[in-house]
Each structure stands twice: as structure tokens, then as C-alpha cells.
Structure 1
Amino acid sequence: MKICFYIHSLTGGGAERVTSTLARHLADQGHEVGVITMTSEERDFYPLDPRVRRVTLDLAGVNRGLGKLTANYRRWRALRRALKAEQPDVVVAMMNTSIVLAILAAIGLPVRVYGSERNYPGRKATGRPWALLRRFVYRFAAGHVAQTREAAAWLERHTGARNVHVIPNPVVWPIPSFPPEVTPESVVSPERKVILAVGSKPEQKGFDLLVRAFAGLAVDWPEWDLVIVGVDPTSEAVCGGGASVQRLAEAVGVAQRLYLPGRVGNVADWYQRADIFVLSSRYEGFPNVLLEAMASGCPCIAFDCDTGPRDVIEHGRNGVLVPAESVDALQNAMVRLMADEGLRQGLGEHAVAVRQQFAEPKVMALWLEVF
């Protein structure tokens, strides 16, 4: 079977990582696999298996108003040309706008389009035109993949999507490493205790909530630091409240205890360095970083947000769930784990079971059933 993935870019993020993993696994199974992106290869963060054909349309510019409409027409036309040239049997479109474009681009072509939502669609912001298109066109896909039952139910209820499969993200173990590598000891002193978070989208990942929770306990716990991997320290990308992570840390007085090493390819080393891992997201799909942290034996705290954490964490056994977006509850949970090394050890020992529960071969077999 010839299978093409369509995703806006491979510049970083959970959807991009899963695309790379899926493409490799399907190539292992003997399928002819390609990945189509709007961005050029020079912007890639996640590497593709050399057996995977890469098609770049190089139409990723940001536009507004009428220019945005024109740009999306050009993307639709370029994608349709690419599908005609590649002649895949199946297209898997990753994330909502890409799903809409792929369904429209495949009209009249002998190709089955499957949409793969990578966040909880009830929370993932889309502009009104895209939301209307989603409600109209999703039903014309051959099927959809959601990561949780809640997400699947939302798609069926709000878009008329049919043939919706529920497939979680896999745990790829051992966690692969690739450039750039930033060693933990080059950033934070070995004798310091580390609270770790990982992500590149400060608003969605709730890093403002995490920084505020850390600020509330920092004075009483002077031996602990906060490390957020994935956020460029020079970035002005805002988190909640309109400030960047760095500026918020300065405002609440913890800038000297916050480390932002940026994007790293050796994230496994950072999980090993962490004493506590925190997922402070406002919403998720099925969080890769939480799976990886648990697989690495980290004691984990997560907001019970929509969706994913409650599907992975059994509260009090292999991790800790706290009410979504509650800074006080997050702070209290952090203090509880910081104060109890035995509790941290016990949670971490139980957490590693996700390696088997969400093992790559088991999850990938579910994908093969979709097609």
C-alpha cells in the first residue's frame, strides 16, 4: 500500500513526532510511505527514516485577511497537485486545518483520506472559517483517528465524522536522541533538585500556571529549580496573561531559578535528570511528554485536563492528577512530592509500566487496522 502523511511541518511537537514514528513503522511493514509538508526540510526538527519519501511544498508563509485566503487556495492547489503526482492509496492528514485541506484536495481522486486529530478538538482553537469547514467536510473522510474516547465523541457529535477510531500515542522506547544535544549538567548544577516540564507552546502547555505555582513555593524550597525544555529563552511567545515565560518569571521573582535550554534532541537525558516532572497543560490530545517521562521513571504530576492525562495516570499509584488549571492544587502537589522522596520513588517505579501498556508495536497494530 502507498501511504502519504500530510502535516504542515516537522518543526517540532507531538503530532510531528508521531508522524515520524508512524512513517518509520509503516515502512518497516513494507508499505511505500511519503510525508508531504508545507515547510522545507531545512526547518525540520524530527528526522525521517531514509526509506520515507519527502515532498515539500514550501508554502508556509503567514498571511492575514485576503492574503490568507489566497495563501490557503495556493496550499490547496499545491497539495492537490502533489496527490495527483504521488498517487497514494491513503492520505493521513495530521491536525484540523490539514485534515480540511486534504479532504478538499482529494475530491475526485482515487485516494482515501483519514484525519488524525492530535489535540482535544473541543479546546483546540480554530478560526471561524476553519471551524465551519470542519463541520461540513469531516464527514467526507474515509475515517478519523482520535486519541481518546472523549475526542472521538466530540468529533462524532460536532462534525458528523464517521468511522472514528481511538488510538493513543505510542511509547517509543528507548527514547531516540538526535541533534541538538544539550547536556543537563551544562545548564543546571548537579547538586540541584529539578522540576522538569517539556513543550514548545507556552500558552497551551500552561507554563504560566507552572511558573506561578513554582513561585509560590520557591522561597521555602531553595534547593529546587524549574527547567522548561522546548521554550526558546529569547522567545516572546506569550503564555497566559500576555507575557513570555521568561518575563513572567522575572515578574514573580523566580528568574534566577528558571532554566530554559530551548529545544533539545536528547530529551531522554533530561527525564533522567528530573526529580519531578510536571504537565501543566490547559488541554492536550494524548501527551507524548507525559508518556516519555513516565516511561523514564519520573514521578509525574499532571493537570486533569482534556484529554489524555486521566487515561495514563492512575492517581496516587503511578502519578498525581490535580484539578485542571488550579495553581494552588499544583503547588500543593509539587510540595507533597518535593517533601517525600519515598513517594517520588514509588510513583516512578509504577510509572514505567506505560512502556508495555502503550508499546509501539501494540499501538501501531491499531493503525494498520484503520486502513
Structure 2
Amino acid sequence: MVTSSQEMLRGKKVVFVFGSLDLGGSERRGLLLAEYLQAQVGAAVQVVGLNRTPGKLSALCDGLGIPWRGVSFHWGLRRRIPSFLRAVLALRAAAPDIVLSYTRVPNLVCAWGARWIGAKLLIWNQADEGLLLNGSLPFRLAACVPHCFISNSTRGRDFLLETYGIAAERVHLVHNGIALPAARTSRDQWLREWEIPPGAPVVGMVANLSVYKDHETLLKAWARVVSSAWEHPPVLVLAGRGDGAEQGLQKLAAELGITAQVRFVGPVDDVAGVLQALDLFAYSSRSEGVPNGVLEAMASEVAVVGTDIPGIREAVGPEGGLRLAPVADSGKLAELIVELLRDEVKRRQLGAALRQRAEQSFSLEKMCRRSTDIIAGALAESLGEK
């Protein structure tokens, strides 16, 4: 059945703007919506990345038949203005009806350049708790421009309301939607590839190795975990793009004496397969909206331990919230990991509860339908049709 929202957006040129052409949580969320708008709504979707280097995002766009473009962009002071002009000109050339920007730099660039980009509708997507944003005048000016805002977490929404005084009706809460494809590689195959001995418990984190994900605390916790008595010492698997932090983390693992019990496996395409190979999922981030990594683990029925920040607590709900440690508290995080690794019944019960929560609260269909309604409503308002 075609809805009025779909009618409003059919044939409209919708440009998604990301910080790069590689794949992180925000890019994955945006691409899922882009695919829906193209396939189910009939919008003319394009992707622009503020980086010229092709990556997994551009490869996925190729597979979906979504046009994409990379723009050379540098945030450094000396190259910021030329980069800004290049980005604005590239977006203007796309002649968009609607622009959806994701993460800090794309949000700021699109807001500051909105007059020249010429879109009828600009939507700022808030994917964290306000990371690297503040109440300074340039950011306040940017926050005055978008027609509306979409936040994937309550804390992100509150940040926009409290910091920039945006009217509540302009800031919408839309949780991430999760749709994992079938696993392509079996658990046994992954364990062989990672050279994990039979019987060894496996804990993993799937997230780019950014400083904000705080893998350092997880490694310190892991040193405490492996120091406990185990018949088969557990192994920690860290999957994700390096982002320049991997060498420091590898050095820390060596200093902690846990190199043999940690696997740095780099970025993975088969996230569903990786998650099925884990006994427990750990997430040590310092700042998040509602993280895709945690939701994907929940959807895979894997028990989760993590840091007690609003976005993770919002993801896992009351029962999962009992397995969260204070930020940077490696001792408490280690305690939670050991407790669940030693109690398979509790671990399976938590995994089942989290899967049910993911299905009820974080469905892809719900995210896409809700986003489509918000975009269509905001466009109608900007065109004076409401």
C-alpha cells in the first residue's frame, strides 16, 4: 500500500552526506534508509562522502545501484575553507531536493553551506551524545539552519534541545533499525581462521578502533579476565577498521602480557558470522547514540556487557542494564565478563532477552517508515503544504 509519505517523496532527489566512503555505524544506518527510499519509495538517492578514497560504503552503493561521489576534504584550519567550498559545490551540483547529513563534520558543512546548496529540506542526523560539539557561536549558527533533526538516542535528542535551544517539535527520536543478513561463515570456520583453541571462550567487540570506543579499557579488563583460573583461557576478538589506533592497542596488549589472548582481525564483511562465533559481546565505548554494534549483537542473541552510558543503556533496556560498568572502569568490566563467561545459563537467558528487545524496539521497518514520515512531513512544511 502506497502511503501519502511515499507519494510526497517519490521522484525527489535525496542526497545522503557522510564523513567518508567507508562504513561505520552512521553510514550503515544511513545506507539502510537510502536503500529503502530508493527501492520502496521511488526517491532518486545519491551518496556524497567527504573523502575521495573509495571504501566499503561506496562498494555497497555500487551493489545497490546508488550513485556516489567522494569529495577531497580536510578539517585542518588551513584547508578547511577550500574543502568547505568543494563540498558545497559538489552538493549544489547534485541539485538535491532533500539533504540528510550524518555525524559532526557533514552536519556542520551542510548547515553552514545550506544557502548555496539550495535544497528544499535539510535534515541533521545526530548519531551520538554531542561528541565534539559545543555551545560556541559557529555551532549555534549551524544548529539554527536545518529544518529538522533526527536523533537515534534520547541523550542525543536532549543534547540538541539543551545546548542549542531547538524547539522540541523539530527534534525527532528514531532508534536505529537492525537487519542482519545471514551468516556466510560458520562459527567453526571463524575459530579456525582466528586460531582459537577448542573449548576456549570467545568474547568480541565489533567497532572501528577509534579512541572514543575505548578499546584500551577493554584490554585492561581483559588482562584481569585472563588472570583468572580457566581450563581453556578465553580469547578476545577485536573486529573493526584500524582508524590509526591499532598499533597503540597492540602495544598495550603486549605490555599487559595478553597478546596471545587477543586477536586484532581488522574490518569484517560477515558481521553476522562473527557474532555467531562469540560467546559474549563487549562494548567499552565512552560516547554513543544507540550503537549498531550492540544492537547487532542483541539481534544475534549474544549476551552483552558494556559501559554504562545513556546510549548503551537505552539499547539493552532494564535487564541488560544490570551488565553495564562505569566508563573506564576496567575492574568492573572484567568482573561482568568473568561472571557471564562462567555461567552459561545466565548468558543464554540474557542473550534471549536482548534478542526479543531488538525485535520489538529496533526493527529496520520501523526505522525506515518513521524516518520516511518525518522527512515527508518536514518537506511538506518547508513547501508550505501543511
- TM bucket, shorter chain: 0.7 to 0.9
Displacement of 1:174:
2.9
Task: Sort the Cα spacing of 1:73 and 1:236 in 2 relative to 1 into closer, same or farther, 3 A.
Answer: closer
**Is the 1:300–1:319 contact (alpha carbons within 8 Å) kept by the matching residues of 2?**
no
Task: Sort the Cα spacing of 1:281 and 1:175 in 2 relative to 1 into closer, same or farther, 3 A.
Answer: farther
SS of residue matched to 2:204: strand
Displacement of 1:296:
0.5
SS of residue matched to 2:144: helix
Tell me the equivalent position of 1:95.
Answer: 103
Please point out which of 216, 227, 235 is paired with 1:208.
216
Please point out which of 263, 269, 283 is paired with 1:279.
283
Distance 1:175 1:100 in 2: 36
Task: Sort the Cα spacing of 1:236 and 1:75 in 2 relative to 1 into closer, same or farther, 3 A.
Answer: closer
Following TM superposition, the consecutive aligned residue runs of length 4 or more in structure 1 with deviations greater than 4 angstroms are 175-178
Tell me the equivalent position of 1:118.
Answer: 127
Tell whether 2:316 aligns with 1:333. Answer: no
Within-5 A mapping of 1:1-20: 1-20=12-31
SS of residue matched to 2:269: coil
Please point out which of 330, 348, 351 is paired with 1:348.
351
Displacement of 1:198:
1.3
Tell me the equivalent position of 2:9.
Answer: none
Displacement of 1:15:
1.0
Displacement of 1:364:
0.7
Displacement of 1:13:
1.2
Displacement of 1:221:
4.1
Tell whether 2:192 aligns with 1:188. Answer: no
Within-5 A mapping of 1:1-371: 1-28=12-39, 29-40=41-52, 42-45=54-57, 47-48=60-61, 49-57=63-71, 59-61=72-74, 63=76, 65=77, 67=78, 71-107=79-115, 109-121=118-130, 124-125=131-132, 131-162=136-167, 163-174=170-181, 183-189=190-196, 191=198, 192-222=200-230, 223=232, 224-232=234-242, 237=245, 244-305=248-309, 307-316=310-319, 320-353=323-356, 354-371=358-375
Displacement of 1:161:
3.2
Displacement of 1:12:
2.4
**Aligned Cα root-mean-square deviation (Å):** 2.4
Displacement of 1:356:
3.6
**Gaps spanning 5+ residues in structure 2: where?**
1-11, 376-386
SS of residue matched to 1:4: strand
**Is the 2:340–2:346 contact (alpha carbons within 8 Å) kept by the matching residues of 1?**
yes
Displacement of 1:176:
7.6
Give the TM-score normalised by the residue count of structure 1.
0.87
Distance 2:351 2:261 in 1: 24
**Is the 1:319–1:351 contact (alpha carbons within 8 Å) kept by the matching residues of 2?**
no
Q: How many pairs were matched up? A: 351
Displacement of 1:62:
6.3
Displacement of 1:47:
1.1
SS of residue matched to 1:282: coil
Distance 1:84 1:352 in 2: 43
Code of the residue aligned with 1:336 in structure 2: it is: E
Give the TM-score normalised by the residue count of structure 2.
0.84
**Is the 1:299–1:319 contact (alpha carbons within 8 Å) kept by the matching residues of 2?**
no
Deviation string 1:260-314 (CA, Å, 9 cap, x unpaired) is 0111111211100101101111111110000000110111112111x32111213
Task: Sort the Cα spacing of 1:216 and 1:176 in 2 relative to 1 into closer, same or farther, 3 A.
Answer: closer
Tell me the equivalent position of 2:384.
Answer: none
Distance 2:370 2:183 in 1: 22
